[in-house]
Amino acid sequence: MIEINKKNIRVWSMLGMRRMIGPIMEDIVCYHDNIIFSTADLGRYFAYEGLLAKYPEHVVNFGIAEQNLIGASAALQKEGFNVFASTYATFITSRVLDQIRVNVGIMGFGIKLVGGAGGISDGNFSATHMAIEDIANLRTIPNITIICPADGMELVKTLLWMADFDGPVYVRLTGRANMPIINKVDYNFEVGKAIVCREGTDVAIVSNGTILGEVLAAAELLAENGIDCKVINMHTLKPLDKEMLFSIQNMKLVVTVEEHMKTGGLGGAMAEFYAEQSSHPRMLLLGIEGAYPDPGEYEELLIECGLKAESIADRIEEVLNQ
């Protein structure tokens, strides 16, 4: 049984999201006979050694063949298994988009898609390993729940929920080892229900994933300049928490921050929602725009893409002063 306590929260932070997958799956399969962890030769990437050693019957490695990973995972779903198909986020979404479209969107198989290195965290491997259009790609396919956990504890809660859920899910892992701890104590996690991380009255900043660490730091910088920000963790991108979106509709500015192309991700989803309302807030969408970033270390890329706290705060202040 996975214990949520101060020590484990710290361990998960040090490990980073991808290295949590194997150990957490080891616990999950104890209580769920029908779970399969499938991968396209990235078992070690997800620290699956313990899972493979203790529960080999719950692991299938399809080799570097992502389209086959999805097709075969769909077949396993049809036979009654609950499959966690895991590889790089860009491969589990963009590379296999047609297989997802057919097997998940059209045929309705509830595969759980686990995407490591969402955003730019593995940008040292270049743009081929960045997932910055993955949310946009999957949002258009019906019935897929899309979740981007903020930290280790939220990832644990997401995986536990996925183990009991029949439908298709995409869980986007972000950040690296020593990721920020956004949720310091246990809390009630509900898919589709956003969480207020910081109360505020002037500006709402909506985000998800580990980039929330930068967003919270940006809110503190803005507070020093008298701008009071509400920070919201919209961990579920699909379905969006409409009640939360209505609640911030009348704020001076609604900002979205994401490790994703500016187009089609969280910001795009929220803009689509507000476009259909009789009134809508002024919005500022912060994300990656213009071109795929050059290869680089994660911290360098965050700076280059304007996703560090200082840049986020500067842009918000600039827009408010316009």
Residue 236 identity (one-letter amino acid) = T
Residues in contact with 226: Cβ distance below 8 Å, sequence separation at least 6, in sequence order: none
Residue 98 contacts another protein per CB under 8 A = no
Min CB(116)–another protein separation in Å:
16
Select from 17, 18, 19, 144 the one that contacts another protein (CB under 8 A).
19
Per-residue interface string for the shown chain with another protein, residues 145-184, x marking contact by CB under 8 A: ---------------------------------x------
Per CB under 8 A, the segment of 11-19, 126-134, 196-204, 263-271 that binds another protein is 11-19
User: Can you tell me the distance from the alpha carbon of 41 to that of 63, in angstroms, rounded to the nearest whole number?
Assistant: 5
Residue 106 contacts another protein per CB under 8 A = no
**∠ CA 258-139-66, rounded to 5°:** 95
Torsion of the alpha carbons at 51, 54, 58 and 63, rounded to the nearest 10 = 60
Q: Whose Cβ is closer to another protein: residue 26's or residue 66's?
A: 26
Q: Whose Cβ is closer to another protein: residue 136's or residue 181's?
A: 181
Per CB under 8 A, the segment of 13-21, 102-110, 255-263, 312-320 that binds another protein is 13-21
Q: Whose Cβ is closer to another protein: residue 19's or residue 238's?
A: 19
Per-residue interface string for the shown chain with another protein, residues 26-65, x marking contact by CB under 8 A: ---------------------x-xx---------------
DSSP assignment of 95-150 equals ITHHHHIIIIIIT----EEEEESBBTTTGGG-GGG-BSSHHHHHHTSTT-EEE--S
User: Can you tell me the distance from the alpha carbon of 255 to that of 263, in angstroms, rounded to the nearest whole number?
Assistant: 14
Per CB under 8 A, the segment of 3-11, 190-198, 280-288, 295-303 that binds another protein is 3-11
Q: How far is CA 107 from CA 13, 162, 180, 212, 303, in A?
A: 37, 19, 38, 35, 42
Edge-first strand listing for the sheet containing 283-288? 195-198, 229-233, 203-207, 253-261, 283-288
Q: Which positions from 271 through 290 interact with another protein, judged by CB under 8 A? A: none
Q: Whose Cβ is closer to another protein: residue 19's or residue 112's?
A: 19
Select from 17, 23, 189, 254 the one that contacts another protein (CB under 8 A).
23
Q: Considering just the CA atoms, what is the radius of gyration of the chain in Å?
A: 19
Min CB(122)–another protein separation in Å:
17
Select from 14, 64, 75, 106 the one that contacts another protein (CB under 8 A).
14
Q: How far is CA 253 from CA 244, 256, 277, in A?
A: 15, 10, 16
Q: How far is CA 18 from CA 21, 121, 171, 196, in A?
A: 6, 11, 11, 25
Binding residues (CB under 8 A) for another protein: these are 6-8, 10-11, 14-15, 19, 23, 47, 49-50, 178
